[in-house]
A and B are shown apart, each in its own frame.
Chain A
Amino acid sequence: MKLPDQTIWNSLKNGNKEAYLQIYKSHYELLYSYGLKLSNDQELTRDCIHEIFVNLWEQRAKLNDVLHIKAYLLKYLRRLIFHKLKKKNRQTSIDSLQQESFQITFSPEDLLIQQDITKENQQKIMEALSHLSPRQKEIIYLKFYDELSYQEIQDIMSLSYQSVRNTLHKALTSLRKRLLSLVVIIFFTSKILYINSL
């Protein structure tokens, strides 16, 4: 059984250290994996997570009510990493980070290990993912890595519900097109197997 977020959040606001530690422990890995995807920088991610929790404790009396701690923290981390990266890249290219977007890359290690995906097909999937826009990639990440709801993704990325859905829809159409050859092959094999087994 889990306590509702609001209860834990209120305990934090009242200076309850136990609640605070619990929030840290139950969100650390989630924040880490998201931060790492956004920044591709372990040290930066870890420092940002630390900074967020220090800020939370120091500002605890002034915190607003939060309904979903997970979405709140992910959004906070996203913004912090964006600002850090912007600062870091100021000298080089200012434009590249203008729109709060991130250079997310996917690699075969990200795939859940499944027996029936060959190296070649893994490569095809990566290739298909690489053609997505940064925003599409991020929504794919939040939806299929972190398994967040549309509501949560909307909060984290400060987008409207409709634009989250439209972006994902476009991303999926693009993926589907590029993965069509895979679908057909697998389809045929399963059909043939089906006939054989009759």
Chain B
Amino acid sequence: MDYSNYSVEDFLMDESFQKYVREGDKESQKIWEEILRNFPDKAPEIEEAKEILQWVRFQKRKPSIKDAEQDIKRFEKYLLQATIGKSGKVVPLWKRGWAAAVVVMVCAVGFLYYYPQVITVKKTDTVQNTKEYFERKVPDGQKLSLKLGDGTTVKINAGSSIKFPQKFTLDKREVYLEGEAYFEVVKDAGRPFIIHTGNFQTTVLGTSFNINAYPSQEVFKIALVEGKVQVEDIKEKSRRVQLTPNQMAICLDTGIVASAFDPEEELAWKNDILVFKEADIHQVAHKLERWYGVDITLSKTHLIEKKFTGRFHNQTLGHILKGASFALGFDYTQQGKSIIITGTK
């Protein structure tokens, strides 16, 4: 592009120049520094155009919060009435009230019917954003399968919780996870599926994968089975990886690394298979607590150095304890939900 005949006005009219002065983003800066290098004679014009643009920078007059709220309420009220009085006839006020009550009741019944296990419903109410969240907590010893509004299925492992809006917005699907879950995300290119786990977020476009993000653990793991996901640190956006199938992101405080993973080990839980792979006594106890919802106390087990490997499908806790006690060398006593493991050495 030839700028040698550009006047101050021409620069002012140039949309790329406007963007450069207004936003000063790196990309525009690069473009315009390059132009200045190529047309050094134009420095005075560019300088003047910059000055003038700085002066005609305006701010918009915003409505007061009270007015904006009043307006949205008026609008929502209209919308409610418009959907009830479909005939277009003017519905008398008392009839309108009745119709609205019926709708609300039906909603409430439907709500209870579909969400029998809802534990808390948190309501955040702002002008911009009116969303209701459901939170599902899965206690130790249980698992839960869920189908979300967009058709995505989630299997949630024991001791985990998930939070999601009653209805996803039009531009994205966001859920919050603590613990471990297996997602089969329905493809929707226009609405990325985002999973928030602590400081990390995983962005998905149609895929199935496993997230392991128990807050008590230091390491979060996201294992991808198929599709494509991006994992990023929300505090340090430069830290991010894109996964390809059979890769796993390991999120640490210091960064995110991608590595291969063993599907047997990472995904078995969703098929109700409990897997131990070279697990020490602490890992075994921890996994059993979560899987069966029991309380395990370790006593004099510091000398146990052996590792335990095993694969159990629908087995009782007693059966596994028996196997592990033999392999690792410990005794145990069980009273209801509490178990004491004692080293034998």
Contact = CB atoms under 8 A, between A and B. Distances in A.
B56 A140 contact: yes
Contacts of A1: 171-172, 190-192
B124 interface: no
B111 interface: no
A68 to B, nearest CB: 16
Contacts of B15: 149-150
A176 B8 contact: yes
A32 B127 CA distance: 15
A114 B71 contact: no
A161 interface: no
A89 to B, nearest CB: 22
A186 B172 CA distance: 47
Interface in A1-32: 1-4, 7-8, 11, 17-22, 24-25, 28-30, 32
Interface stretch (B59-67, B94-102, B179-187, B262-270): B59-67
B83 interface: yes
Contact of B57 (A33, A112, A169, A172): A112
A76 interface: no
B128 interface: yes
Mostly, the B contact residues are: helix
Contact of B75 (A7, A11, A24): A24
B79 interface: yes
B219 interface: no
A73 interface: no
A141 B57 CA distance: 10
A147 B9 contact: no
Nearest to B130: A21
Size bracket of the B interface: 35 or more
B25 to A, nearest CB: 14
Given A3-B170, A114-B57, A147 B22 contact: yes
A19 B190 CA distance: 14
- Residue of A29, A58, A129 most packed against chain B (CB within 10 A): A29
B52 A179 contact: yes
A11 B191 CA distance: 15
B78 interface: yes
A32 B63 contact: yes
Interface stretch (A48-56, A77-85, A95-103): A48-56
Given A110-B59, A179-B55, A183-B51, A172 B170 contact: no
Given A37-B61, A144-B56, A176-B8, A20 B68 contact: no
B13 A169 contact: yes
B171 A2 contact: yes
A50 B75 contact: yes
A46 B67 contact: yes
A164 to B, nearest CB: 10
B128 to A, nearest CB: 6
Contacts of B12: 172
Given A24-B75, A147-B22, A176-B52, A8 B170 contact: yes
A173 B9 contact: yes
Interface in A154-177: 165, 168-169, 172-173, 175-176
A73 to B, nearest CB: 14
Nearest to B80: A17
A18 B167 contact: yes
B278 interface: no
Given A29-B63, A57-B82, A144 B58 contact: yes
A65 to B, nearest CB: 18
A57 B74 CA distance: 14
Interface string A37-78: 100001000100110011001100000000000000000000
A144 B52 contact: no
B52 A172 contact: yes
A114 B18 CA distance: 17
Interface in A114-149: 114, 117, 121, 125, 129, 140-141, 143-147, 149
A94 interface: no
A114 B55 CA distance: 9
B129 to A, nearest CB: 8
B33 to A, nearest CB: 18
12 contacts: A1-B190, A18-B167, A25-B72, A28-B63, A28-B68, A32-B62, A42-B67, A50-B74, A57-B79, A110-B61, A112-B59, A117-B55
6 tightest Cβ-Cβ pairs between the two chains A and B: A33-B60, A112-B57, A145-B58, A172-B9, A110-B58, A32-B63
Interface of B: 8-9, 12-13, 15, 18, 22, 47-48, 51-63, 67-68, 71-72, 74-76, 78-79, 82-83, 127-128, 167, 169-172, 190-192
